[in-house]
Amino acid sequence: MSAELILNNAKIVLEHEVILGSVLIRDGRIADISEGLGSGGDDFEGDYLIPGLVELHTDHLEGHYAPRPRVRWNPIAAVLAHDAQIATSGITTVLDALRVGMDEDADMTAEEMRKLGNAIEDSVNQDRLRADHYLHLRCEVSAPDCLASFHHFDGDSRVKLASLMDHAPGQRQFVNLETYAYYYQRKLKLSDHDFNLFCEKRMAQSAENSAPQRKALSDLCRERGIVLASHDDATVAHVEEAIEQGIHVAEFPTTLEAAAASKEAGLAVLMGAPNVVRGGSHSGNVSARELVEHGYLDILSSDYIPFSLIQSAFFMSETVDGIALSDAVRLVTKNPAESIGFDDRGVIEVGKRADLVRVRVDEHIPVVRTVWREGRRVV
């Protein structure tokens, strides 16, 4: 006897339209989609049914493991707390971002990143998790230990994405040194003299390490079938470098120029969902809404607020001219799934995984009511 579930009277957000109808789930897959009112099964009462969200870049796990300076939580407990917030935000597939390469901003070690990776793997094997978890390695190429830290994940099939980033002053996100000072000098509580020494050290590390480690990491990722992402590209030259390195995803371009060049080159352009909701970048870079208006945006990521992913999709459909709900939902489902080679999810379509979310909108905020992963209710 096959396991079946019927979801009735839902506003079903398909790839290019929204219909009122029902979905039949059989053995974890979508078996049928029909239009019109139905009876029996789970009555949605007109709530939305959307595909489970796909998250490519969330830094959220580290905060559960190290909630305060010098405080460390049990890694499995940290993963479970993170997973619960991910799932209740409607995310059914997540790439947990772990840093590789520790600069002075890091309060953790490469060994601790591997420990978190092990906790994820163990939790998957023990069926503790609600969402489907994979890994995204955030490679700080200016840090001296970046390549050595990357090797902690050799042979880990859960690694699906690696981003090459350089947060040294004068680079990428921090071309403007005033912005860098505002972000780091205050955060690290440095005097002007100590901050200048800090900048000199970071710039020297970038000059020595970035180019050779970018080359080595891009070669390794291509050999292992790991999708590569650039990070904070600001110029056409940065985009040209990304193309040479085999980059597929352009994360958080900081200028309209870089986003346009990335889109023209066929890269999938990813921006932060908090940028959409807030109306701009927290570090003063290009607005994600501006990229939407120019047709340059392909993927949204929750970055540091898991709930922002679903919130941004519904927000855009209400506030951005020319963006229907189905268009906005693709940015957080189908497009990110396809960018890393997942062709079995991200859209409500017969034969696809029944990764689904029931949503009711209240006071312009999407309320996640129920979540299914492969037909199994997890929220």
Instruction: Specify the CATH number for the domain of residue 184.
Output: 3.20.20.140
Task: Tell whether 268 is covered by a domain.
Answer: yes
**What's the confidence (pLDDT) of residue 105?**
67
Position of tokens 């870089």? 258
The better pLDDT of the pair 174, 87 is held by 87
Tokens of 25: 């789930």
Over residues 188-214, the mean pLDDT reads: 82
**What's the confidence (pLDDT) of residue 321?**
87
CB 151 within 8 A of CB 220: no
Domain, as residue range, for 313:
52-346
Task: Tell whether 373 is covered by a domain.
Answer: no
Task: Tell whether 230 is covered by a domain.
Answer: yes
Tokens of 331: 């940015």
Distance in angstroms (rounded) separating the CA atoms of residues 18 and 107: 46
Weakest mean pLDDT among 45-49, 252-256, 266-270: 252-256
Position of tokens 């941004």? 312
Query: What is each CA distance from 281 to 138, 276, 292, 352, in whole angstroms?
Result: 20, 8, 14, 35
Task: Tell whether 218 is covered by a domain.
Answer: yes
Residue ranges in the chain assigned as alpha helix (H): 60-65, 75-88, 110-125, 146-150, 177-180, 186-188, 192-224, 236-244, 256-264, 273-278, 288-294, 308-319, 325-330, 334-339
The better pLDDT of the pair 6, 69 is held by 6
Most confident range, picked from 81-85, 198-202, 234-238: 81-85
Instruction: Tally the domains of the chain.
Output: 1
Task: Tell whether 196 is covered by a domain.
Answer: yes
pLDDT band at 175 (very low <50, low <70, confident <90, very high): low
**What's the confidence (pLDDT) of residue 41?**
85
At 207, give phi and psi (nearest 5°). Answer: -60, -35
- pLDDT digit string (tens) for 71-95? 999 999 999 999 999 999 999 999 9
Task: Tell whether 16 is covered by a domain.
Answer: no
Q: Which residues, including other chains, have CB under 8 Å from residue 327's CB and lie 6 or more apart?
A: 317
- pLDDT digit string (tens) for 269-324? 999 999 999 886 766 678 898 999 899 999 999 999 999 999 999 999 999 888 99
Task: Tell whether 329 is covered by a domain.
Answer: yes
